[in-house]
Amino acid sequence: MGRPVIAEAIKKFESVYALYRSDERRGIPMSVRERHEKALAEIRRQIRLAARNRGGKRLGELLLAEGVLDKGSLEQALAEQARQGSKKLLGEILIELGFVGPEAVRRAIEEQAAAEGPNSYVRP
C-alpha cells in the first residue's frame, strides 16, 4: 500500500515552494522561475485529482467549522481562486491572503483524510 497521495503531495509542495521562495529572494533567472512554477502546477494537479475522488467536507467547510475562518473571508478567497482561473489551491489562497495559517490548513486536510478512512488518499 502506498503513502497517502495528499500528504505526500503537500510535503512535496511545501518543499518546492520553500526552495522557490528562497531562490526568488536571491534573484533567479526566468528559466528557474518557470521550472519552479511548472513543478508547483503539477503538484497542484495531483492534489486536485486526489481530492476530486473523495467525498466528505470541503476544506473551506472544515475551516469554518473550526472557527478559524469566517464566511466572508472564505467567499473572498473563493472569488480570488475563480479570478485566477483555479491556478492555486484554496488553501494556498487562504494563506496568501492572511485569512488562515498553514497549520490550520494542514489540520483541516488531515481531518479530511481521517474522516474518510486510512485508504482514502492512497494510490491504487
What length is written for the chain? 124
pTM of the model as a whole: 0.66
N-term to C-term CA, the chain: 8
Cell of 120: 482514502
Enclosing H/E stretch for 68: none
Q: Is a pLDDT exceeding 60 seen at residue 62?
A: yes
pLDDT band at 124 (very low <50, low <70, confident <90, very high): very low
User: Which three three-digit cell numbers place residue 84?
Assistant: 485566477
C-alpha cell at position 41:
502546477
What is the phi/psi pair of residue 54, to 5°? -110, 160
Confidence of residue 119 (pLDDT cuts 50, 70, 90): very low
Element containing residue 106 per DSSP (H, E): helix 102-115
Residue at grid coordinates 520553500: 18
C-beta separation of 120 from 54 below 8 A: yes
Q: Which pLDDT score is estimated for 109?
A: 80
